[in-house]
């Protein structure tokens, strides 16, 4: 963890320091080395939060884009279950920075636990993801929505990472930092079978929109408009397919 409580105050790990876990209250030891990022660790056990994943430099960079008061926030459910959110914004959005693979059922539990959740996915964990993602973007076509760079993915099955997150039901952003430095790829929540639309989303804008509490407007106003447009477009495409000449001839025979 980036923070422990030292004398009741959130503090980062420094050599030889001791602190307590803001979630379970047990003692934490500062781990400061050259190979992994400075962090706090529980004595003996992995982490009191089974959802916690070991932090990488990538996690840290993301967290550091937001105020300290928003980072590593302990969240409780009505039944007393608790987890540490990577970042929780003033508007209640939990930003989860996900490096490792998550089973669908684990993802569902987290989506349910944090009602307002946004996933930011490390696209560079597996070597193949980068290559596959580049390919689906090359094979994609521009969706007919004015003013926004939306890619209609024609072969979503060519990206394992995309398939893993398709129909997640909540906002998902893919981060291929070395490849697309200033862009995150936002997977538009659609719930249309086998359909994927990706929106080029400025990294800076993503950070700013949360820091300025503008994400609600995006999720509850702008995204539904785009979803509506895409759904209508998909319906029309299907109709075109339905009334194409060869199909019509086929139908007339009966």
Give the interface with Zn ion as residue ranges (CB under 5 A): 21, 23-24, 48
Three-class SS of residue 203? Answer: helix
Taking the complex as a whole, the smallest distance from the CB of residue 113 to Zn ion amounts, in Å, to 17
Taking the complex as a whole, the smallest distance from the CB of residue 48 to Zn ion amounts, in Å, to 3
Taking the C-alpha atoms of residue 203 and residue 185, their distance in angstroms, rounded to an integer, is 9
Q: Which lies closer to Zn ion via its Cβ, residue 47 or residue 140?
A: 47
Q: Are the beta carbons of 48 and 83 closer than 8 angstroms?
A: no
Q: Which lies closer to Zn ion via its Cβ, residue 25 or residue 144?
A: 25
Taking the C-alpha atoms of residue 142 and residue 148, their distance in angstroms, rounded to an integer, is 10
Q: Which lies closer to Zn ion via its Cβ, residue 76 or residue 155?
A: 76
Three-class SS of residue 131? Answer: helix
Q: Which long-range contacts (CB under 8 A, 24 or more apart) does 204-207 make?
A: 206/173, 207/65, 207/66
Taking the complex as a whole, the smallest distance from the CB of residue 41 to Zn ion amounts, in Å, to 10
Q: Which lies closer to Zn ion via its Cβ, residue 21 or residue 230?
A: 21
Taking the complex as a whole, the smallest distance from the CB of residue 26 to Zn ion amounts, in Å, to 5
CA 36 to chain CA centroid, nearest Å: 23
Taking the complex as a whole, the smallest distance from the CB of residue 19 to Zn ion amounts, in Å, to 11
Q: How many CA atoms are closer than 13 Å to the CA of 126, on its beta-carbon side?
A: 14
Q: Which lies closer to Zn ion via its Cβ, residue 17 or residue 48?
A: 48
218 contacts: CB under 8 Å, gap ≥ 6:
209
The CA radius of gyration of the chain, in Å to the nearest whole number, is 21
């Amino acid at each position: 963890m980036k923070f422990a409580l030292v004398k009741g105050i959130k503090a980062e790990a420094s050599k030889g320091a001791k602190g307590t876990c803001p979630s379970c209250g047990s003692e934490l030891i500062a781990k400061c080395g050259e190979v992994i990022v400075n962090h706090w660790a529980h004595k003996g056990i992995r982490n009191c939060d089974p959802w916690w994943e070991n932090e990488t430099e990538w996690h840290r960079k993301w967290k550091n884009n937001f105020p300290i008061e928003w980072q590593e926030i302990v969240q409780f459910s009505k039944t007393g279950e608790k987890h540490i959110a990577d970042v929780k914004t003033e508007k209640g959005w939990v930003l989860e920075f996900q490096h490792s693979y998550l089973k669908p059922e684990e993802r569902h539990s987290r989506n349910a636990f944090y009602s307002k959740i946004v996933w930011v996915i490390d696209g560079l964990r597996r070597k193949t993801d980068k290559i596959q993602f580049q390919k689906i973007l090359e094979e994609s076509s521009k969706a007919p929505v004015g003013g926004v760079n939306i890619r209609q993915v024609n072969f979503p099955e060519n990206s394992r990472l995309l398939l893993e997150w398709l129909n997640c039901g909540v906002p998902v952003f893919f981060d291929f930092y070395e490849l697309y430095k200033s862009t995150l790829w936002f997977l538009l929540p659609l719930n249309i079978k086998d359909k994927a639309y990706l929106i080029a989303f400025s990294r800076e804008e993503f950070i700013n929109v949360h820091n300025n509490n503008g994400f609600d407007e995006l999720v509850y106003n702008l995204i539904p408009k785009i979803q509506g447009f895409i759904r209508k477009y998909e319906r029309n495409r299907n109709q075109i397919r339905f009334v194409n000449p060869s199909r019509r001839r086929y139908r007339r025979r009966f």
